[in-house]
Structure 1
C-alpha cells in the first residue's frame, strides 16, 4: 500500500461508531502507560504522540459523520497500529514491499525526522516555560481565555496527577480504554475553578465542525490546538502532553488574531526569547559574568555583529544566539525547499552570526569603547557558541547532520527545553563548559536524534567516548534519553503530590468521588486514599 492508500484506509476506519474507544486503547498501549514502566518501554515498537495526534485528527474529522458500524476494539487497534507502521516506510519508498534500506537518500530523512523524531520537551516543561514566554501577556490571557498563565503549571500538574492516580492506583474505576474522562461537575473544580477554565480554553465543543480537509501528514490538525473533547457532560483528555504543548504554543496565535492587541503581542515577543534564556541561565548560575544584548563594534561607525547572550567562565566565552523561528506548514508537509529555507533562517543564520562574533573575539577585532554591554574579554582564550531555538524544532539535530554534511564547523543546536534539562543536570558553570567542550570535540563522531541522548551519553559514557580514538561514528540511541524521562517524571510526580492534595481539600463526604468511580467520596477514596499517585 502507498501512503495515500494507507491514510484512506485509516480515514475510513475512523468513521466507525466506536473509534474513540479504539483510539483510547491505542493511547493506553502506546502513550499513557503506568508510572513504573516509564523509561523501560521498547519505544521503537510504540506509536509516538505525533502518530496518535494524527489519528486523533481523523477522529475529529469524522466524529459527526460516524457510521453505525461498531468494530472490534482490540483487533481494529492492532490493525491501525500496523497501518501506521507501514505508513512510516512510505517516507523512504512508495510502499513497504519495495523498501530497500541501502537506497535511502539522505534528503528523505529531512521530512521523516520532522514527524518521527521524539519531542524536545517533557510536558511539565511546556507549562513551566510558558510563564516566561507570556509573562507580559498575562492580563490578556486571563481576560480573554479565563485562566492565569502563571498558575497554568500548577493546574496542569493537578490534571496530570489526577490521571496518574486514576491509572496507577484506582485503575479499576477507569474506563476500559484508560482515557482520562472528567465530569464537568467533578468536585476537584470546586476549590480550583481555574483548572476548569484551563480545560475549557483548550476544549472542542461537542457538535463543532473541525478538520474538514484533514488527511495527510502536515495538514492543519485542530487536535494540536485544542486537544480536549467535550462529550455530553464530560471532558475527554486523550493525552495530557498535548494539552501542555498547546498551553505553550497557542496563546501567541490567539493574541495575533486580536487586531487591537496583536501589535503589542508582537512587541512583547521581540526580545522575549533572549530575556527568557538570560533568566534561565542567571537563575541557575547567577548574573555575574552573564550578559545580554552585547553589541560588538569595530569602531564607532562599524558594527561587527551582536551577541544575544554571552557567558564567561575563566578563559572561556560561550555565545548564545537565540532564535524563535518555527517550522512552516510547508516544511511539516515535507516540502524540501521549505525545509531548507526554514533551516537557513532558524539555524544557519544564527550560526553565521555566532561565527562572526567568535572570530572577532578570537582576533580581538572589536573596540571595547565603542561596543555596547561588552565585558572585559582580554583573558578569553577559547570561544564556543550555541544556537538556541525558543520553540521545538523537530529533527533539528538530524537536519544539521544532513544539510551541513562536510562543513567543517557545524553548530551545536539546542532548544530552550534542552537547555532546561542541561541546567537541571549540570549544576555549575564548570559542569556546563565541560559538557560543551565534549559536544564540540565529538560533534562529527556522535550521532543522536536528540540533545537528551547526547547529554545521557556524556553523563554515563563520557570518559569512554573521549578515550575512544576510533574515527567511526558513535550512535547514541534514545535509550540514553529515556533516563531523563524516568528521572524527571518521578521527580515531578513527588513534587506535585502536595498540589494534588491541596486541590482535594474542599471535597465533602457526600460529593461524587474525584476519581470518577461514580461513588460518593465517603464510600470511595475518602476511606483509602493515602496520597500516593503511583504504586
Structure 2
C-alpha cells in the first residue's frame, strides 16, 4: 500500500470532532425542532454551516499569516508560533490524544478508588457506567446501519438518519442486564440538564456544555447522542469534577488521580522491562535526612535507565482562548516542571554520593554504570496540541547521557479482543 492509495479518502472539508461539538453547542442555545426540514431548507442549512466553519478556520489562520511575514521571520530570535493567538488554531484543530476505547476502558482504572463516593453520591459504580457507555456505542452502531437500510423504503423528502442516534433506557437495560433505574442514573449524569441553554458558550473556547453532557434527553427515558467519542471522553473526564466539587473529598480525589497515572505507567513499563526492573516512588537522598529528588517511576535495565515523572494537569479554558500567560503557565505546570524534575534526578543516578530508596525505605542499587538515562514525562489527560507546544516551549539540558525526552503524554490500553493499542504525542 502506498500513500496515493489512501489519498482519495482525505478531504480538507471533513468535519472534526471539535467542529461538530461546536455545532451541537450552538444547537443547544435554542429549543430543538426535531422535524425533518424540507430539502431546499436542509441544503441552505448545510451550505451556511460549511461557510461559517470555514470562516472560523480562516479567522484563526490570520495570526499564522501575520507570523509568517518574511520581514519578521528573518529577525534574530523570532518565534512566530509562541504567541497565544497563533496557538489557538493547533489547539482547536489538533488531533485527539486517545482512541475512544481507551477513554472508555481506562475510566474504571482512573476512578476505581473513588467507587464508594460514586455509589453514595451518584448511585452507580464507574465500572457500571463504563458498561452502559459501551452498550450505547454498540447499540448505535446497529441502529445506524438499520436506519440507513430503512431509507430505501422512504421517499427522499422523508430521509433522516436521526433515529440512528436515538435510544431508550429500556434498550440499554435489556442489552446490559443492568436495572433500568441504574441505567437512567448513568444516562442522566451525562445528559444536558433540563432548561440548559449553554449561555456561557459565547466564544469558541468557552466551556461548551455539549462536551461535558453529550446526551440530549428528547422525551421521558429517551436520548440522542451525536458523538460517541464525546460520551467516552466525558466518562473519562467528568467524574473528576464530580468528586472535586465535594470539598471534604477533593484532597482524596486528587491523591487518587496522581496514583492512577503513576501506577498505570509502572504497570505498562513492567510489561516491557519486567516487574523486577521497575520501581515506583523512589526518593533520592544526599544524607539520611536530606532528600534531594523524587522519581515517580524508575526503570533500570542493563546500562540504561528510564526516569518517568507523572503529572495531572490539563490545558485550561483560558489558555485555549489564546491567553499567552496562561498557555505558558499550564505548560510549565504540566510539562516543563515534570521535565526539569526528570533531568535533575537523572543527573544524580549512579553518583555514589546519593542513595536511592523506595516507598518502603529499601535501598535500590544501580548494578552497573549507566550509559544513558531517558526522561519520560507522562500526563493522563487530553492536552491539545501538546507536540506543537513542546516544540515551541520545552527547555531541557540534554547531554550524551541524558538525551532529549522522547515521548510526552503516553496513553496505552488493551482492547477487549486482547490486542494492544496505544497513542503517543511526540515531543
Indicate the TM-score class for this superposition, using the shorter chain for normalisation. Answer: 0.7 to 0.9
**Residue 49 of structure 1, aligned match among 4, 10, 17:** 17
Q: Give the TM-score taking structure 1 as reference length.
A: 0.65
What are structure 1's unaligned runs of at least 5 residues? 1-37, 427-449, 456-535
Q: Following superposition of structure 1 onto structure 2, how do residues 449-468 of structure 1 map, counting pairs within 5 Å?
A: 451=424
Secondary structure (helix, strand or coil) at the match of 2:314 reads coil
Alignment partner, residue 216 of structure 2: 229
| Cα distance in 2 between the residues matched to 1:385 and 1:152 | 35
* Contact residue 295 and residue 374 of structure 1 kept, 8 A: no
Cα deviation for residue 222 of structure 1 reads 1.0
Alignment partner, residue 420 of structure 2: 424
What is the count of residue pairs matched by the alignment? 387
Cα deviation for residue 177 of structure 1 reads 3.4
**Residue 109 of structure 2, aligned match among 127, 132, 135:** 132
Alignment partner, residue 186 of structure 1: 171
Q: Does 1:102 align with 2:68?
A: yes
Alignment partner, residue 375 of structure 1: 364
Say if 1:367 and 1:39 are closer, same or farther in 2 by CA, change over 3 A: farther
| Cα distance in 1 between the residues matched to 2:89 and 2:263 | 33
**Residue 125 of structure 2, aligned match among 148, 163, 166:** 148
Q: Does 1:295 align with 2:272?
A: no
**Residue 198 of structure 2, aligned match among 211, 216, 222:** 211
Alignment partner, residue 270 of structure 2: 282
* Contact residue 282 and residue 294 of structure 2 kept, 8 A: yes
Q: Following superposition of structure 1 onto structure 2, how do residues 157-168 of structure 1 map, counting pairs within 5 Å?
A: 157-168=134-145
Cα deviation for residue 299 of structure 1 reads 2.0
Cα deviation for residue 117 of structure 1 reads 0.6
Cα deviation for residue 261 of structure 1 reads 3.2
Cα deviation for residue 413 of structure 1 reads 4.1
Cα deviation for residue 251 of structure 1 reads 0.8
Q: Give the TM-score taking structure 2 as reference length.
A: 0.80
Q: Following superposition of structure 1 onto structure 2, how do residues 99-498 of structure 1 map, counting pairs within 5 Å?
A: 99=65, 102-103=68-69, 105-107=80-82, 108-168=85-145, 171-173=148-150, 176-178=160-162, 179-186=164-171, 188-189=173-174, 191-193=177-179, 194-205=182-193, 207-233=194-220, 234-282=222-270, 286-361=274-349, 363-368=351-356, 372-379=361-368, 380-404=370-394, 410-417=404-411, 424=420, 451=424
Say if 1:302 and 1:425 are closer, same or farther in 2 by CA, change over 3 A: same
Say if 1:374 and 1:90 are closer, same or farther in 2 by CA, change over 3 A: farther
Say if 1:93 and 1:315 are closer, same or farther in 2 by CA, change over 3 A: same
CA RMSD of the aligned region, Å? Answer: 3.4
Cα deviation for residue 363 of structure 1 reads 4.5
Alignment partner, residue 56 of structure 2: 87
What are structure 2's unaligned runs of at least 5 residues? 1-5, 74-79, 152-158
Alignment partner, residue 60 of structure 1: 28
| Cα distance in 1 between the residues matched to 2:371 and 2:404 | 20
* Contact residue 309 and residue 376 of structure 2 kept, 8 A: yes
Secondary structure (helix, strand or coil) at the match of 2:28 reads helix
